């Protein structure tokens, strides 16, 4: 039997405050019955579950679980381990069970930003964080005096390309010498080698462990996911649905939303065939581009061949998109989706012709030349796309409206866009704050937002691009699908011409 103190009896009708006696962690192949089996063992052993967290990784089919539980009066640690060992064998679990009262020995690593380090040290010193800190390691000396004040040994391991392997080897020696069971990267701004990552597998935590989608394309998020980074907000799968050509087209078909006719091509002859089929002029661009880089409108086969030969790299891994160019009006929205509802604070109309990058075009809110029918269609599409793609947080959609008032989707960016500050100022809604609350789990309704589209403002707000052509010599000043502006300015007035 253990020497754990029995739980104090509770008064009738009350629940005793219990502290965790043990913490169980496990991982195994995901299958039905795991939670039932684990909780059953704890119940039969007279234990009470206080906290439980679980995660199923859809990529490799692994299930992870962490359970903190309190012990009963007749708790028998050996009996619990024997019974749980049988369950672990059935499910082929990797598992561990530790005494919750025993502090973990944690090695801290830091660079030049100390807010995380200071917070950990303060919490540990005041008894709010049950850990022991046997050493602090840094590639700079900035926090050596701080470590000395707390009486913690400080190890300065400056890292360069020439010394990286040597210093990482020394780090592993310090880890062994201090008998630390966990390494916490408290804003340690160095890329760890693959060898060091393998050596620290399962016992290293980066406390900056999650981030919001902000990169163009799905690839950075898949790379982050593969390295154990947790995404909050719109996840990898939703980003892939929005950014991958085939996935996005399938969603549009399922939702009944039209887009300009086009295809992804992987060689020059295929590009020529596609352009002839959909008709010139065509808009050509690499997949996963930012700022319209290498986008171009081409009017005939000769221009298309020249573009595909000289402007981009084309292959099976790097397809080029060829879309029919539609002459019309271009509009865009910034919206927020919480998984159930969508909020569109405003619709912006672009002044320049279609084909000019939206960052180089004058944007006007509210719209000045489109009908209520068009705005209704845009709002309907915005809601369908937010929910259909699975966006949690901010997203941006660009539309084309042809002379017959047909509305087409150009693209959906599952992230914040450059127009968010402008639209926030124009509409009075702080989109970044609202979206952050959504990402952290607070719904639009819980924030007091119940409608899809609020009443439009009575005055006009205009976002005008700023260019630096006079500072950058040799730059082609012709506006195109490739963004060239370097800033923006805002004007507003009751009359559109005065706002402009």
- Whether residue 470 has pLDDT greater than 80: no
User: For residue range 324-338, what is the model confidence (pLDDT) as tens digits?
Assistant: 888 889 999 999 999
Q: Per mean pLDDT, which range of 184-198, 275-289, 422-436 is the poorest?
A: 275-289
Secondary structure (H, E, C), 313-365: CCCCCCCEEEEECCCCEEEEEEEEECCCCEECCCEEEECCCCCCCHHHCCEEE
Tens-digit pLDDT profile for residues 252-264: 999 999 998 888 8
Contact between residue 103 and residue 131 where contact means Cβ atoms under 8 Å apart: yes
- pLDDT averaged over the chain? 85
339 with 392: CB under 8 angstroms?
yes
Give the up-direction half-sphere exposure of residue 179: CA atoms within 13 A in the CB hemisphere. 3
Residue 332 CA to residue 93 CA, distance in Å, equals: 50
Q: Summarize pLDDT for 296-309 with one digit per residue, the tens.
A: 888 899 988 988 88
CB-based contact 357:483 (threshold 8 Å): yes
Name which residue leads in pLDDT, 161 or 485.
161
Res 292 pLDDT > 70: no
What whole-number percentage of the chain has pLDDT above 90? 52
Strand partners, 429: none
Top pLDDT among 320 and 286 is at: 320
Which is more confidently placed, 476 or 1?
476
Q: What count of other Cβ atoms lies within 10 Å of the Cβ of residue 57?
A: 12
What gap in Å lies between CA 185 and CA 209, rounded to an integer?
10
pLDDT for res 311: 66
Q: What is the reported pLDDT for 263? A: 84
Pairing of strands 182-185, 22-29: unpaired
Question: What was the pLDDT predicted at 233?
Answer: 85
Nearest residue to 212 via CA among 199, 202, 221, 200? 221
Looking at residue 3, what is its pLDDT? Answer: 36
Q: Using CA atoms, how far apart are residues 439 and 432, in angstroms rounded to an integer?
A: 10
Q: What are phi and psi of 95, to 5 degrees?
A: -145, 160
Residue 293 confidence class, pLDDT cut points 50, 70, 90:
low
Q: Which two tokens stand for residue 475?
A: 């730059």
Q: Is the pLDDT of residue 419 over 80?
A: yes
In sequence order, what are the residues at sequence separation of 6 or more whose Cβ sits closer than 8 angstroms to the Cβ of residue 402? 326, 327, 328, 408
CA–CA gap between residue 360 and residue 351 (Å, rounded): 10
pLDDT tens digits, 126-175:
988 889 999 999 999 999 999 999 999 999 999 998 999 999 999 999 99
Side-chain half-sphere exposure of 306, counting CA atoms within 13 A: 8
CA of 352: how far to CAs of 236, 420, 448, 460, 470, in Å? 34, 20, 36, 17, 22
Confidence of residue 7 (pLDDT cuts 50, 70, 90): very low
The predicted structure's pLDDT at residue 288: 55
pLDDT of residue 29: 95
Query: Does residue 204 register a pLDDT over 50?
Result: yes
The number of beta carbons lying within 10 Å of the beta carbon of residue 93 is 21
User: How far apart are alpha carbons 415 and 288 in whole angstroms?
Assistant: 14
Angstrom distance (rounded) from CA 288 to CA 294:
11
């Amino acid at each position: 039997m253990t020497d754990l103190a029995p739980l104090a009896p509770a008064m009738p009708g009350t629940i005793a405050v219990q502290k965790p006696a043990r913490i169980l962690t496990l991982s195994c192949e995901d299958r039905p019955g795991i939670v039932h089996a684990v909780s059953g063992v704890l119940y039969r052993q007279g234990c009470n579950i206080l906290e439980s967290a679980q995660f199923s990784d859809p990529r490799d089919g692994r299930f992870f679980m962490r359970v903190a539980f309190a012990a009963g009066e007749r708790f028998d640690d050996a009996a619990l381990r024997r019974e749980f060992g049988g369950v672990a064998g059935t499910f082929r679990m990797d598992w561990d069970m530790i005494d919750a009262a025993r502090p973990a020995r944690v090695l801290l690593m830091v660079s030049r930003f100390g807010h995380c380090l200071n917070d950990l040290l303060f919490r540990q010193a005041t008894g709010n964080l049950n850990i022991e800190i046997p050493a602090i390691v840094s590639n700079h000396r900035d926090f050596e005096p701080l470590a000395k004040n707390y009486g913690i040994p400080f190890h300065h391991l400056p890292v360069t390309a020439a010394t990286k392997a040597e210093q990482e080897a020394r780090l592993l020696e310090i880890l062994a010498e201090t008998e630390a069971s966990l390494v916490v990267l408290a804003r340690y701004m160095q890329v760890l080698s693959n060898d060091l990552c393998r050596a620290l597998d399962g016992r290293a935590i980066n406390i900056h462990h999650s981030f919001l989608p902000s990169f163009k394309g799905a690839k950075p998020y898949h790379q982050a996911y593969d390295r154990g980074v947790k995404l909050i907000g719109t996840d990898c799968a939703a980003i892939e649905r929005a950014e991958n050509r085939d996935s996005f087209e399938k969603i549009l078909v399922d939702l009944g939303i039209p887009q300009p006719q086009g295809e992804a091509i992987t060689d020059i002859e295929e590009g020529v065939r596609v352009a002839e089929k959909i008709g010139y002029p065509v808009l050509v661009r690499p997949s996963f581009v930012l700022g319209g880089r290498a986008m171009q409108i081409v009017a005939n086969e000769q221009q298309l061949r020249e573009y595909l030969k000289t402007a981009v790299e084309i292959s099976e891994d790097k397809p080029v998109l060829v879309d029919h160019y539609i002459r019309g009006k271009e509009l865009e929205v910034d919206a927020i989706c919480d998984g159930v509802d969508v909020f569109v604070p405003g619709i912006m109309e672009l002044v320049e012709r279609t084909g000019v990058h939206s960052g180089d075009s004058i944007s006007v809110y509210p719209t000045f030349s489109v009908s209520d029918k068009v705005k209704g269609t845009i709002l309907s599409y915005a809601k369908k796309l937010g929910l259909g793609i699975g966006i949690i947080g901010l997203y941006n959609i660009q539309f084309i409206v042809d002379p017959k008032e047909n509305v087409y989707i150009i693209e959906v960016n599952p992230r914040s866009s450059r127009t968010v500050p402008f639209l926030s100022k124009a509409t009075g809604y702080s989109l970044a704050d609202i979206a952050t609350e959504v990402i952290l789990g607070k719904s639009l309704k819980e924030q007091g937002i119940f409608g899809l589209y609020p009443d439009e403002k009575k005055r006009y707000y205009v976002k005008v691009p700023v260019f630096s052509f006079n500072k950058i010599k040799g730059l082609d000043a012709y506006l195109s699908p490739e963004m060239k502006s370097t800033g923006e300015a805002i004007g507003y007035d009751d009359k559109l011409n005065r706002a402009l």
